[in-house]
Structure 1
Amino acid sequence: MAWLSATQLSTMGFASIGENVLVSDKASIYNPQNISIGNNVRIDDFCIISAGHGGVSIGNYVHVAAYSSLIGSGKISLSDYSGLSSRVSIYSSNDDYTGDRMTNPTVPPKYTGVISADVFIGKHVIIGNGSIILPGISLNDGSVIAALSLVNKDCEPFKIYGGVPAKPLKERKKNLLDLEVQFLEDKKNKT
């Protein structure tokens, strides 16, 4: 993978950008002025980040794997230590599929019924390959989404969800919280 240089990233016009940020030169970034990226972030090949009015906020130590997309007018927030596996799609806007309204962005807004709502991805959340997150969803800290799931309801902290639509499967261990404390302490001692 070829990464954009720090100079290239600094000239793209991001709202803010941290240190040690790796963005593939094959990723597509739209409206960077509405995108904030923290420290130690990696965005892989063929990802699409298209920030609408609400923007996209990416925390620290976040990985967005190949072919993932973050799209919509509502705000999309990826908290620290979260990760998206390949081909994850997060939508903060969605057409009305009922037939009451017309669809797609080529039609003037007065004829469509696009719904936009913020999406929140909490700390230590991991989303499995091919999963879809719909507008207005909160994946609370530590929740896990199994591969090929469709999330249309909020997810509770430290639970594993899966399916179409996603349903709770079991509890997730919390050992990673102790590891986070140790990681931050080790990091502090190195500086």
Structure 2
Amino acid sequence: MNIFYYVSRIQQIIEYIIDSFWSFFIKKSMGHCGKNVMIKPSTSVFKGLENIYISDDVRIARYAVIYTTKAKVYIGSKVGIAPYLKIITGNHRTNNIGHFMFDGDIDKNPNDDKDVIIEGDSWFGINVTLLSGVTIGRGSCIAAGAVVTKSCPPYSIIGGTPAKVLKFRFSIDEVLQHEEKLYPINMRFTKEELIEQRKNYINKV
């Protein structure tokens, strides 16, 4: 073992101590934070904590940036997020005559700030970006490096820049079997709902 190993171990211990300390206060400052939530405040940025709502059993790895403006971020339960996640709920106006774009909060439109919603059982690869107004459907997988500008239906696999639906994790019948094992009946999608959600993707994925 060389000195670099020991330096790395010391760095990990320091990071763990900082994360454990600051996580308590950051979670308390959120709009809601459920049980068994892991965040890494020593290497991440969370702006607008009062607008961040996280359910139970969520893992947000290091180097995340969650930047809320006048809208909210909702993260459902059983969500795993790899490093370098970026979420932004707002945008600057680019058509405001007589104002610098730098002065972005002047005369903002209601549509400049929209909630970002991540439904439960979703999985994110490394370096994913979610832009304002996006909803990630339940059970979806987001490929590494994706820049998500549009919402996706449940059980999608999406990727690219801008991201698009590449395929679905399960067939409709498999989704019904999957959810029967995991969710109470009042939380399960019906076959009709799943067909409706996927109608725009027939023969495209």
TM-score when normalising by structure 1: 0.71
- Match of 1:77, SS? strand
Answering whether residue 89 of structure 2 is matched by residue 95 of structure 1, we say no
Aligned to 2:62: 66
Q: In structure 2, do the counterparts of structure 1 residues 180 and 71 end up closer, same or farther at CA, with 3 Å as the change threshold?
A: same
Contact 1:139-1:157 at 8 Å conserved across structures: yes
Alpha-carbon distance in 2 for matches of 1:158, 1:132: 19
Q: Residue 80 of structure 1 aligns with which residue?
A: 77
2:169 alignment counterpart: 172
TM, length-normalised to structure 2 = 0.66
* 1:56 matched residue in structure 2: 52
Q: Distance in 1 between matches of 2:161 and 2:19?
A: 40
Contact kept? 1:68, 1:84, Cα under 8 Å: no
Hey, what does 1:129 align to over in structure 2? 126
**Equivalence map 1:136-155=2 (5 Å):** 136-155=133-152
Deviation of 1:96 after TM superposition, in Å, equals 3.0
Aligned-residue offset at 1:4: 5.6
Question: Could you say what secondary structure the match of 1:2 adopts?
Answer: helix
Structure 1 residue 98: Cα displacement: 5.9
How many Å separate the matches in 2 of 1:160 and 1:5? 31
Structure 1 pair 167/108, CA: closer, same or farther in 2 (3 Å)?
Answer: closer
Structure 2 CA distance for partners of 1:86 and 1:179, relative to 1, 3 Å: farther
Q: Deviations over 1:78-115 (max 9, x none)?
A: 100112211010111122356766334xx372266681
Write out per-residue CA displacement over residues 127-161 of structure 1, whole angstroms, 9 at most, x where no aligned residue: 22111100111001011110111111101100100
**Shift, 1:13, TM fit:** 7.4
Write 1 or 2 for the structure with the bigger share of helix: 2
Residues 145, 161 of structure 1: 8 Å contact kept: yes
Deviates more, 1:171-180 or 1:42-51: 171-180
Amino acid at match of 2:101: T
* Bigger proportion of residues as strand: 1
User: Is the 2:61–2:82 Cα contact (8 Å) retained in structure 1?
Assistant: yes
- Among candidates 155, 159, 162, match of residue 158 of structure 1: 155
1:42 and 2:38 aligned:
yes
Identity of aligned residues (%): 22
Alpha carbon RMSD of aligned pairs, Å?
2.9
Counterpart contact for 1:159–1:169, Cα < 8 Å: yes
- Count of matched residue positions in the alignment of Structure 1 and Structure 2: 160
How far off is 1:7 after superposition? 7.9
